[in-house]
């Protein structure tokens, strides 16, 4: 296997499965995958809220698009924007009870889609190896960002 085969496979799998998961979530719950991702990150955050910059760093949706997605979620009543008392230049996106309910309702569809289309195509050992390898790449990336930008203050 040449050195780019894993990368090419990752890109093809992402391109093939992301639209499938998006279609399943939209058909069953009227919830685009980008919305689900943002709701998932907010639900996991302390106080179920994140600054827009932290949400942009955590969510799979691009940083430039996260503000637009939060606007859409706000109009739908699933997220609300709140002032950040520690930094007047930033705001929090906070999950509403309605957003948490929609996330909870959509979660079984999301998890079943991942199982059906992705991890269900592998053995448990293969899935663990994929997760481990990708986490290793992410740790290296995160470490390079700390070195490039400097430690958080």
Measured distance CA(106)–CA(44) in Å, rounded: 15
pLDDT reported for residue 87: 81
Please tell me the pTM assigned to this model: 0.87
Which of the following CATH numbers is that of domain 5-121: 1.10.10.10, 3.40.960.10, 3.30.43.10, 3.40.50.2300?
Answer: 1.10.10.10
Count of residues making up the chain:
153
pLDDT category of residue 153 using cuts at 50, 70 and 90: very low
Instruction: Give the pLDDT band (50/70/90) at residue 101.
Output: very high
Range list of β-strands (E), 49-135: 49-51, 79-83, 91-95
Take residue 83 and report the two structure tokens written for it.
Answer: 């002032």
Place of tokens 């894993």: 6
Q: What is the chain's Cα-based Rg?
A: 17
Q: Which tens digit of pLDDT belongs to each residue from 54-85?
A: 998 888 887 778 999 999 999 999 999 998 88
Element (H, E) at 127: helix 124-149
In this prediction, residues 105-132 reach a mean pLDDT of: 97
Quick: pLDDT tens for 3-60.
799 999 999 999 999 999 999 999 999 999 999 999 999 999 999 999 988 998 888 8
Torsion region of 88: left, alpha or beta (phi above 0 gives left; psi -120 to 50 gives alpha):
alpha
Domain ranges of the chain: 5-121, 123-153
């Amino acid at each position: 296997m040449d050195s780019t085969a894993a990368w090419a496979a990752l890109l093809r799998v992402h391109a093939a499965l992301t639209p499938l998961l998006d279609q399943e979530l939209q058909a069953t719950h009227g919830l685009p995958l980008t919305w689900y991702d943002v709701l998932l990150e907010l639900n996991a955050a302390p106080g179920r809220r994140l600054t827009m910059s932290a949400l942009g760093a955590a969510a799979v949706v691009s940083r430039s698009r996260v503000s637009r997605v939060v606007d859409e979620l706000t109009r739908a009543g699933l997220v609300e924007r709140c002032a950040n008392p520690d930094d007047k230049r930033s705001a929090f996106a906070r999950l509403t009870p309605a957003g948490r309910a929609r996330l909870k309702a959509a979660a079984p569809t999301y998890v079943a889609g991942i199982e059906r289309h992705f991890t269900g195509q592998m053995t448990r050992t293969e899935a663990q190896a994929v997760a481990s390898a990708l986490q290793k790449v992410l740790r290296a990336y995160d470490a390079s960002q700390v070195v490039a930008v400097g430690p958080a203050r």
